[in-house]
Structure 1
Amino acid sequence: MTDRPGRQMGRAAALMMGSVLLSRILGYARDAVIAWQHGATTDTDAYFVAFTIPDFLNHLLAGGSLSITFIPIFARYLAEGKEEDGFRSFSTIATVMGIGMLFFIVLSEFLAGRVIPLLVPGFPPEQAALAARLTRIVIPAQIFFYIGGLLMAVQFARKQFFLPALAPLIYNAGIIAGGLLLGRDRGMEGFAWGVLAGAFLGNFALQIYGARRSGLSFFPRLDFSDPGLKEFIRLSIPIMLGFSLVVVDEWTTRVFGSFLLAGAITWLNNARRLMLVPVGIFGQASGVASYPFLSSLAAEGKKEEMWDTLSLTLRWVFLVSAGVAAIAVVLSREAVLLVYQRGAFTIDDTMRTASALSAFCLGIPFWCAQAVVSRGFFAMRDTWTPTLVGTGAWIVALPLYYLLQQSYGVFGLALASTAGILLYAGALYGILMRRTVGRRGVPGLIEFGKLALAAALAGAAGFFLLGAASRFIAWETVFGSMIRLAGGASVVGGVYFLLAFLFHSGTVRTIHRREDLLHPPGSNPAEGSGGNGVTPS
């Protein structure tokens, strides 16, 4: 009985990882279709820019953080046996915020033509006009994302993950279908219509069924005195008003990228999408799966147990993500060639995308870390700290975007992004550690340092080995890239784990002893390890 919560969290994490993996595969197929049909051009740049206003609208009403802000509220109602009160609050929030979202959608439809030139000042008028037209097509999808996010939050609060896990799969399938059916005749508009269809089917229609199956009772309700609505707004205001680096990093690279060569925004977008594959699989999925459990522990006032659970999750995520980062940095050209280079996507596009990818991938462990650590604050109903720290990190990093873009182009912009996420994740970790366990968490930093050093040395070894192998196996062909990717990943991964073991990494040595990967919350996985949760070496 004691290991039940840990096993539940493990199963939830496995399900979400599987969902993210399949979603990334479909995302690759989506981007591959775009690359095959259109390459990296002014039209593809306009398509990716078309998501800037919708993304901002989603951020403005905290739509991208619904599970973060609503789960603690609904979970408390369930814990107190006030399910009907929870449904009333859901109905109020969905009605009030849904009306607000519709208002801004209509407003954005009218203003898109004026706002887009301000967002990408480097675009010529005809390219800005195309971006505005595509924006008007995809903006209505935000109402489906918003209401669907609430519906998924209800399911997450009940620890039901399956139907929410299907949402991104159906969404990406819709974009692919739109591109294949309409892309040849309508250009990038076909993909935009696919966005709208995929959002409706996967994020809205399916989630209505899932939420009703979990017992949801909804009726339109305008009650501004509802306590759930008040708490939802209180938790959401920091996210709405703050410009955290996690949110605005992509927007910032688009703004500065608009002054570079045609295709630069597409190169950056494709590189970011590849970088986000391991971030989604290991970081985001683990954060989503662990969040209901962290929220339960925080609600019970068990801060130390919450830290132990979060720290254990983070160490395993960092172990894998650091190794993946080393592999991805060394093999960025091979990965881009295999994923994108076909049709209209040229070898020059591959080289420039790979340049950005190598810089983005340095930040993989820190993107993963912030996805887990930030949920420790959210579980304690603190949305101000992650937002303020993220905003500060973006302001500090902003000069880097300009300076590195001027000197190194797309590589510089990606490098600035990595510097910003390193600052953000590190600051968040330190603040949360101080608030929960204090100095008892310091040895965990040593563990992360061991893993980071092992990854850096493994990457350097792989770089020199692959350089020597270039005389025999060139990367410029599909066959050569496949061989180098398989062999290089095996070598870098093997060297990484060997070095981590030799550095006495407690996480790696846990694998060696075949201990359980997840301990139940409250069972104190740190017992006997000096309180840091790392298995003694």
Structure 2
Amino acid sequence: MTDTATSGGIGRASAFLASGTIVSRILGFIKLIVLAGIIGQFGASANTFAIANQLPNTVYVIVAGGILTAVLVPQIVRASLHTDGGTGYINKLLTLALLVLAVATIAATLLVPFITGIIGVNLPPDQLKLAIAFAYWCVPQMFFYGLYTLLGEVLNARRSFGPFTWVPVLNNVVAIAGLLVFAALYGADPNGFRSAGEFTAAMIAVLAGSATLGVIAQAVVLFYFWHRIGLRYRPDFRFRGVGLGAAGKMAGWTFGMLLLTTTAGIIETQVVTLAGDKASVAVLATAWLIFMLPHSVITVSVATAYFTRMSEHASLGKLALVRTDASSAIRGTALLIMLATMVIAVCAYPFARVFVAPFDQVQGIGNVIIAFILGLVPFCVLFVVQRTFYALGDTRTPFFFTLFQVVILIAGVLGCSFLPDEWIAVGIALVITISGVLQAGLAAMLLRRRLGGIDGRRITRSLVTYLAAAVLPVILGLTLLFLLGGTAEGGFAVLNRVTAIVSMIIIGTVMAASYLGMLLVMRSAELSAFLTPLRARLRR
């Protein structure tokens, strides 16, 4: 296969993945807007539900990015060389993984009061009681998030990339329907005035139960796509003799990463709840979702398509091709991630206005968004580097650079407890950004040592080019933001939801045009590679 054909395959796969992620994320933000309109972003309702719903989500992010992704794709790619195409191995691995997930989910459900009590140690008693009630409904999501990731990663390894990113659309549709039912039955509380004691058992069941129902639908529907590509799952408890020992060893290190990251997450939540009725758990979660939007659409889509190819090259010992894949993935994603970073940073206040109305709440969310978004480019570089290690079958090294990050993070987050209440969430977001930048630097150095180079000069030159090209767009964007009143109460850009969206479109369009124009003037090779197939398609 030629390089052009291979690049075209990666491009098509990435585009299909991105399209599913875009639709899913749009619906995800609609769900978040509906949720904010029903229970608010500040106050008892928002924070207790965020704590409960965050438990399975946190585990999912770690598991999807760690144990399952790190182990499944490389192992399945290698197993595909077996005479049965890896079917027997997949059944054994899934059976074992599902057993572990089931045991972990049952244990977590039984320990809900204990776990939630630790996380919400600074909550008032009535709010802690509500958080526990929500958690009983939300924690079972762990199993179905894991099932979704297991089934989806097998599909990715078999180069069926679409379902994994498209089925979350179903999750969001179900969850939005549940929220609308809640609003119809019990009314909306956009400013968060409803106290914890006002929630009944039925209200808790509708709000948290519909969220869990969406996750169940998202996971179960993937069995249909398994059948589409000829896969059949048959439980197989004969775990010996198929190389599961190697998978177990890899999973051991990533389980260590899970413990590290979970510990850091618990401490973050404990500290941010000190903010009381200021920007707290729900605000931090919303800002993180905004931070993750471009990462999910761009980086994950590109890296997922590259990851299968890197695993194939690594299994054949072609480290030079692994190095080329990693370099291409980093440079290609960073080009667009730099644009997303500056646009979201400039539009942080209008973005926040989409979710809340009071200007002090807009400032609260907007400041956290800015603190998070500054670390987006390093975060995406780290994502590619981490998956390169996974493709090489190395989960030990990611454990150590994650340990490095967690130590810095915990120290910084504990220091944030001394900040004024309105700045605690901002401080935590900034600590996450700084620790992530340092982690990405260390991870890149370790990968360079492992591969004998990572095309560092070319990557650095590209990143410097993107940064230089961003200067003019940032100046233009800030100028437009001030002219549209985006930093003052009552200004057009923060007047209401419609004017906020219009302002973001205007600012984003001008910044994108000037950024791409600057890259064309600077003759960016990555932009040319991005535009060449687009031009060819337009000519056809």
TM range (shorter): 0.7 to 0.9
**CA deviations over 1:442-481 (Å, ceiling 9, x no partner):** 3321321232343356324532453255399632313543
Inter-CA distance 7–96: structure 2 relative to 1 (3 Å threshold): same
1:354 aligns with 2:366: yes
1:268 to 265, 284, 287: 284
Q: Give the counterpart of 1:363 among 355, 375, 386.
A: 375
Q: 1:156 to 1:247 in 2, by over 3 A?
A: farther
Compared CA separation, residues 137 and 280, structure 1 to 2 (3 A) = same
Contact 1:174 1:197 in 2 (8 A): yes
Corresponding residue pairs, total: 509
- Aligned partners of 1:425, 1:244: CA distance in 2, in Å? 20
Instruction: Map Cα deviations across residues 193-242 of structure 1 (whole Å, 9 max, x no partner).
Output: 12221222221x21112223323233222234243432221221111112
| C-alpha distance in 2 between matches for 1:101 and 1:292 | 24
CA deviations on 1:233-291 (whole Å, 9 max, x unpaired) are 12211111125887666544322211112251111111111121111101111111211
Q: TM-score by structure 2 length? A: 0.86
Query: Percent of pairs identical after alignment?
Result: 21
Counterparts of residues 263-342 of structure 1 (less than 5 Å): 264-337=280-353, 339-341=354-356
Give, in whole Å, the separation in 1 of the partners of 2:104 and 2:392: 30
Q: What's the RMSD between the two structures over aligned residues?
A: 2.8
Contact 2:473 2:515 in 1 (8 A): yes
Q: CA deviation at 1:488?
A: 1.9
Q: Is residue 73–residue 228 contact of structure 1 (8 Å, CA) maintained in 2? A: no
The answer for the alignment partner of 1:231 in structure 2 is 246
Q: Is the 8 A contact 1:63 1:149 kept in 2?
A: no
**Which residue number corresponds to residue 141 of structure 1?**
141
Matches within 5 A, 1:51-200: 51-55=53-57, 58=60, 65-83=67-85, 86-183=86-183, 184-185=185-186, 186-187=202-203, 189-200=205-216
Distance 2:161 2:102 in 1: 28
* Partner Cα separation in structure 2 for residue 232 and residue 517 of structure 1: 41
Deviation at 1:330, TM superposition (A): 1.0
Partner of 1:35: 36
Aligned to 1:207: 222
Does structure 2 retain, via aligned residues, the 8 Å contact 1:88–1:218? no
Q: Is the contact made by 2:134 and 2:208 (CA closer than 8 Å) also made in structure 1?
A: yes
Aligned twin of 1:400: 412
The reply to whether residue 377 of structure 1 matches residue 389 of structure 2 is yes
Give 1:33 shift. Answer: 1.2
Matched, 1:430 2:430: no
Can you list the C-alpha shifts for 1:103-147, whole angstroms capped at 9, x where unaligned?
A: 232222222112212112211111111111111112222222223
Partner of residue 524, structure 1: none
Query: Quick one: distance in 2 between partners of 1:169 and 1:202?
Result: 8
Distance in 2, matches of 1:128 and 1:269, equals 18
Q: Which string of whole-angstrom CA distances, capped at 9 and with x for unpartnered residues, describes residues 496-536 of structure 1?
A: 3344455564434556xx54589xxxxxxxxxxxxxxxxxx
| Larger mean Cα displacement after TM superposition, 282-291 or 498-507 | 498-507
494, 504, 529: which one aligns with 1:485: 504
For 1:358 and 1:218, how far apart are their aligned partners in 2? 45
Match of 1:49 in 2: 51
Q: Which runs of 5 or more residues in structure 1 are unaligned?
A: 519-537
* Contiguous gaps of at least 5 residues in structure 2: 187-201, 536-540
Kindly provide the CA deviation profile for residues 348-388 of structure 1, in whole angstroms up to 9, marking residues without a partner as x: 32221111111111122222222222111111111121222
Hey, what's the Cα distance between the residues in 2 that align with 1:70 and 1:453?
39
Letter in 2 for 1:373: V
Q: Quick check: 1:235–1:382 contact (8 Å CA) kept in 2?
A: yes
Write out per-residue CA displacement over residues 40-73 of structure 1, whole angstroms, 9 at most, x where no aligned residue: 2211111111134434655787786423311111
1:497-516 → structure 2 map (5 Å cutoff):
497-501=516-520, 505-508=524-527, 510=529, 514-516=531-533
Compute the displacement of 1:325 (Å).
0.7
Tell me if the contact between 1:242 and 1:387 (Cα under 8 Å) persists in the aligned partners.
yes
Q: Which amino acid aligns with 1:392?
A: F
Query: CA–CA distance in 2 between the matches of 1:290 and 1:63?
Result: 15
Could you tell me whether the CA contact under 8 Å between 1:321 and 1:364 is conserved in 2?
yes
Give the corresponding residue for 2:197.
Answer: none
The equivalent of 1:474 in structure 2 is 492
Whole-Å Cα distance in 1 between the matches of residues 150 and 131 of structure 2? 29
Q: Secondary structure at the match of 1:406?
A: coil
Structure 1 stretch displaced more, 136-145 or 56-65: 56-65
